[in-house]
Amino acid sequence: MSFDVGKIVNAHGVRGEARVIAFTDDNQRFSLLDNVNVRMENGVTKTLDIERVRLHKRFVILKFKGINSADAILPFKNSVLNIPDEKALPLEKDEYYVRDLLGMTVVTDDGEELGALDDVIFTGANDVYAVGKLLIPAIKRCVMNVDMERRKITVKLPEGLRD
């Protein structure tokens, strides 16, 4: 398997740099990579070697070897950047990869089944778990337990969340 770690949203400047929206909590993680697989909109995947990484506002700016103009990077616009599992960062205690959480059954602390985890929304302050139309803050006082073996997340809904 592999991880999608970002998406090229545009060229950055005229020297062939790519403006990337990261799908990771740690934008610095791109500095640890020598290359990425680039899955283009037409389905073709290419491996590109990373020459330089820098951060600009909320974007990661990547310079790939051999791509030296804005015209050369534009064909990669809207491409998804992907890495193999073995290049993934190790997880700390109580950290999970989003792909592993999606589809898990979400239940309340009193046993009511709310449905499956549809999405994880990154807000900047804290993540939010989307279960149908219900949005649950992914914070310690709301997420009581994540049982990866049983594929079940137990939550305590804040007062008034469903009113």
Q: Looking at residues 53-66, what average pLDDT do you find?
A: 95
Distances (CA, A) of 18 to 63, 141, 147: 6, 39, 38
Percent above pLDDT 90 for the chain: 73
- The half-sphere exposure of 114 on its side-chain side, counting CA atoms within 13 A, is 25
Q: For 81-99, write each residue's pLDDT tens digit.
A: 999 988 888 888 888 888 8
Count of C-beta atoms within a 10 Å radius of residue 161 = 13
The residues, any chain, with a CB within 8 Å of residue 38's CB and separated by 6 or more, are 8, 45, 46, 47, 48, 76, 79, 80, 81, 82
Domains of the chain: 2-86 (2.40.30.60), 98-155 (2.30.30.240)
